[in-house]
Structures are given as C-alpha cells and as structure tokens.
Structure 1
Amino acid sequence: MTLALYGHPFASFVWKPLIALYERGVSFTFKMIDPDHPENQAKIAALSPTGQFPALVDGDREVTQSNAVIEYLDLFHGNGTPMIPEDRRQALEARMMADVFDDYVHVPMQRIVGDALRKKEERDPRGVADAHAQMERCYAWLEPRLQGKDWAACGSFTIADCAAAPALFYGDWVHPIAERYPTLAAYRARLLSRPSVARVVDEARPYRSFFPLGAPDRD
C-alpha cells in the first residue's frame, strides 16, 4: 500500500514532513484536505484528535503530529540521512531545537494569523501583541546560537531544520526578522535555497491569496 500524507500544501505544519519526505526520497501520495476532497476531510477528522493535519497513513499504521511523522519516516521509509541523528546526544539537540522553532516561532505565528481570520469583534489584540513579543524574544535567542552554523543543530540538516523552515518562512511574513538579526536572516535564506524547502515553497505558491495578512511580494 502506498504511503499517504494528509494535508494542504499551504499549511505550515504540513511542510515539516513534506521536507523530510523529499530529503529522504520517500515515495508517497499526497491527500489534499480541502472542500473539493470531502473524503479526505472525513479521513483527517477520524485520524486527528482535533481534525488538524498532517497525518500519515501507512497500511494499518496511522501517525499524527508532524514530529512523530518525521520520526516514523526515519524508522521505516527512505534511504537518505535520518532527520533524527543516531547519536542520542545529537538527537536530543535536534529535538530541542525543533521544539524551540515549533513552540516559540511557529505557534505564536499561527496565533497571529488565526486572529486575523476572526471577525473583528472576536479578535484578541493583547494575545496578538504577546505572540509578537514571544517571536521577538525567540529571534533574539536564536541569533547568537546560530552563529557559525549552516544548520540549526548537530552540523547537519535535521528535524530542527524541518521545523525551522516553515516557522521562519511564515514567521518573517508575520513578524519580520529585523536587521539586528543578520545570522537568523541568513539562516532563513539558506533554508529557502535547500531543494527540499524550495520545493514546498513552490508547491504552496498558488495558495498565497489564502494568507489573511497579505502575502508579501517576495520569497
């Protein structure tokens, strides 16, 4: 049975396993989640506790949550370099940095975007301000830690970079990386030049009109 990934090309957390799939040369079928594919919408509602994506189906195995999907691929699919280093100490560093990008850049970025999708009377200005502040603090934390590195952890492209790519791609749209963070900006540019990341950016390009804050004319 063909491996199937359920998601949408513009969904930021879907980018993470897509990047890992492309990095490791895994063959799979992409199951689009949108109104034109109600059968896939019904499937993701059954797969995920909240109906959110991505989710991976491999025969009778079902895996939700982007980091778990990436780890599953390392175990069972592909011949490329694992996204989780085999050395346990390096694996710890890679997982830690993935969590940093997920929790302190990606999640607050989504909070800001989600607020823009609400009706005006339902918006949360304080929550948006707090999310911007959290992203700014994380940018400041990342700047010195990325100096002298090509990738976020372990000296190689890992799950940390799979997490960083969508977080920083959309993060810079929502809370621009200031000139005082040149290392972080250079790292984002390096991510976008990676073939696997460039591919997901291009696949998402037709859907930029969906971005509620207005997609910038760049990237």
Structure 2
Amino acid sequence: MSPALYGHPFSSYTQKVLIALYENGTPFEFRLIGPDTPQHVEEWLQRWPLRKFPLLVDKGRTIVETSIIIEYLQLAHPGPVRLLPEDPMAALEVRFLDRAFDLHVMSPVQHAVSGTMTGDPAKRHDGLAFATEKLDLAYAWLDKELAGRTWAAGADFTLADCAAAPSLFYADWTHPIPEAFSVLRAYRSRLLDRPSFARAVNEARQYRSLFPLGAPDRD
C-alpha cells in the first residue's frame, strides 16, 4: 500500500513534502484536510492531536514534521533524487538551510498571516511590520549565502530546496524581495521552474483566494 499524505495543497508545509514526493515519483495517496472531507480531518486528529499538518501514514506508522517526513521518505522510499547527501557534513549543511528557510522565512510569513486573520487592523499592521523586518534580514543574508550556487546547498536539489520553494513563494507575496537582491530573486525563479514545485503551485492555484493578505496576480 502506498503512503498516505494528509494536508492541503495551499499549505506551504504540505507543498514542501509534495515536492519531495514529486521529485522521486513516489506513489502516494493524498488525503485532503478540509470541510468537505471530515473523515480525513477525523483520521488526522486521531493520529496527531497537536493539529499540525502535513502528516504521513505509511505501513501503519505515523510520521509528522516536514523535515522528518522527507528524511523518512528517503529511507523507506528512496528514489533517483537523494534529498539528503550521504556525506554527514554535507547533510548537516542541508539540514541547517532547511531550518533557516522554515524558521527565518516561513515563520515571519505565518506571523503576518496570523495577525491578519484576527481581523484586528492593529494586529494586521504589527504582524506585517514584524514580517517585513525579519524578511529583510533573511533576504539580505540569503542573497549573499546563495551566490554562485544553483540550489540552496550547491549543485544538487535537496531538502533545503523543498523548504525554500514554498517559503520564498509566500514570502515574496507578503513582502516582495527587493530588486537589489538579484541572486535570491533568480533562485526563486529557478524554484518556480522546477517541475516538482511547478506542479505543487498549479495544484494550489484554485485556492489563492484563501491567502489572508491577498494573493497578487502572479506566481
């Protein structure tokens, strides 16, 4: 039986795992979490009462947290694209960049989104101000860090890029990457051109009205 992934196509962290699955053509069943699929919601909450998705179920085993899910897939369902390098030091660098994109790019975006979802104009303003400050710092660092690289950690597409793609996608919607950061902007474009992420973006396109900050008319 193929693994089952519980999540939502518009969720950045669901997309992170979808990219890994698509990179290796791993067969899986997608179980949408939403109001039209209460059975999936119930199964998800029974398996993970902390109410975070995505969640992977494979051979009776429940795996949560996106980075762990992707590492698990490499162990249990290896494919032609190795998303964690075999060399331990190289793998450490990939894990560091994975954490950097999740914590220093995606987290500020979520802060802005959460502030907007309260419906309180002051909290929306504060959330966006916080995100802008943090993203400016992250953008400046990443523009230097990624210089001379095709992908986040070098020549190979890895776990770090699975994290970077949705993070930078939604970050640029929240606080556009300044034109001065040409390296980072070019990297985001390469991610959008990557077939695995392009597929995830297209599958989520119908849900863009859900973006609380207002989705721009572009990718």
Q: In 1, distance between residues paired with 2:79 and 2:54?
A: 22
Shift of 1:124: 5.7
Residues 150-165 of structure 1: pairs in structure 2 closer than 5 A: 150-165=150-165
Shift of 1:66: 0.6
Q: Report the 3-state secondary structure (helix = DSSP H, G, I; strand = E; otherwise coil) of the residue aligned with 2:103.
A: helix
Q: Report the 3-state secondary structure (helix = DSSP H, G, I; strand = E; otherwise coil) of the residue aligned with 1:31.
A: strand
Q: In 2, distance between residues paired with 1:75 and 1:200?
A: 23
Judge conservation of contact 1:105–1:135 (CA < 8 Å) in 2. Answer: yes
Judge conservation of contact 1:209–1:215 (CA < 8 Å) in 2. Answer: yes
Which amino acid letter does the alignment assign opposite residue 52 of structure 1?
A: K
Q: Report the 3-state secondary structure (helix = DSSP H, G, I; strand = E; otherwise coil) of the residue aligned with 1:123.
A: helix
- Cα displacement string for residues 13-44 of structure 1 (whole angstroms, at most 9, x for unaligned residues): 10111000000110000000001111111122
- Cα displacement string for residues 134-158 of structure 1 (whole angstroms, at most 9, x for unaligned residues): 1110000001111111100042100
Hey, what does 1:123 align to over in structure 2? 123
Hey, what does 2:42 align to over in structure 1? 42
- Cα displacement string for residues 46-105 of structure 1 (whole angstroms, at most 9, x for unaligned residues): 222421100000021110011010000000114222211111111001000010000000
Q: TM-score, normalised by structure 1?
A: 0.96
| C-alpha spacing 1:51/1:43, structure 2 compared with 1 (3 Å) | same
- Greater shift in the superposed pair: 190-199 or 114-123: 114-123
Q: In 2, distance between residues paired with 1:169 and 1:127?
A: 18
- Cα displacement string for residues 151-173 of structure 1 (whole angstroms, at most 9, x for unaligned residues): 00042100000000000000000
Residues 156-195 of structure 1: pairs in structure 2 closer than 5 A: 156-195=156-195
Judge conservation of contact 2:118–2:124 (CA < 8 Å) in 1. Answer: no
Q: In 2, distance between residues paired with 1:74 and 1:103?
A: 23
Corresponding position: 1:216 with 2:216: yes
Shift of 1:123: 2.4
Q: Tell me how many residue pairs correspond in the alignment.
A: 219
Corresponding position: 1:137 with 2:137: yes
Q: In 2, distance between residues paired with 1:180 and 1:46?
A: 47
Which amino acid letter does the alignment assign opposite residue 106 of structure 1?
A: M
Q: In 1, distance between residues paired with 2:126 and 2:28?
A: 42
Q: Report the 3-state secondary structure (helix = DSSP H, G, I; strand = E; otherwise coil) of the residue aligned with 2:139.
A: helix
Q: Report the 3-state secondary structure (helix = DSSP H, G, I; strand = E; otherwise coil) of the residue aligned with 1:43.
A: helix
Hey, what does 2:29 align to over in structure 1? 29
Which amino acid letter does the alignment assign opposite residue 204 of structure 1?
A: A
Q: TM-score, normalised by structure 2?
A: 0.96
Hey, what does 1:112 align to over in structure 2? 112
Shift of 1:127: 4.2
- Greater shift in the superposed pair: 89-98 or 109-118: 109-118
Which amino acid letter does the alignment assign opposite residue 50 of structure 1?
A: L
Judge conservation of contact 1:56–1:62 (CA < 8 Å) in 2. Answer: yes
Which amino acid letter does the alignment assign opposite residue 218 of structure 2?
A: R
Hey, what does 1:93 align to over in structure 2? 93
Q: In 2, distance between residues paired with 1:62 and 1:72?
A: 11
Percent sequence identity is 49
Q: CA RMSD, aligned part only?
A: 1.3
